[in-house]
Amino acid sequence: MATTSRSGVPVIVVDDVVTTGATLAACAGALRAGGTAVAGAFVLASTPSPSRHAARPTG
């Protein structure tokens, strides 16, 4: 069972840009493994999903 952070409050993971979410997941997993409760994540920007960049047939 997760506990709270040293200050007694669950933490929020902050990242500047999210692409796949792997870094956020790894960070949250490491914090949880260390016994810290993770309340969520805050991201400043995200890259478009690959499907938005897929070539679309014309004509």
DSSP annotation string for 4-28: --TTSS-EEEEEEEESSSHHHHHHH
Instruction: Locate 2 and state its tokens.
Output: 């997760």
Q: Is residue 50 over pLDDT 90? A: no
Which position has the token pair 């690959």?
50
Pairing relation of β-strands 11-18 and 38-46? Answer: parallel
14: nearest Cα among 49, 46, 44:
44
**pLDDT band, very low/low/confident/very high, at 51 (cuts 50, 70, 90):** low
Identify the pLDDT of residue 9.
85
Q: Is residue 12 over pLDDT 70? A: yes
pLDDT digit string (tens) for 16-49? 999 999 999 999 999 999 889 999 999 999 988 7
Contacts of 12 (CB under 8 A, 6+ apart): 38, 39, 40, 41, 42
Identify the pLDDT of residue 18.
93
The reported pTM is 0.69
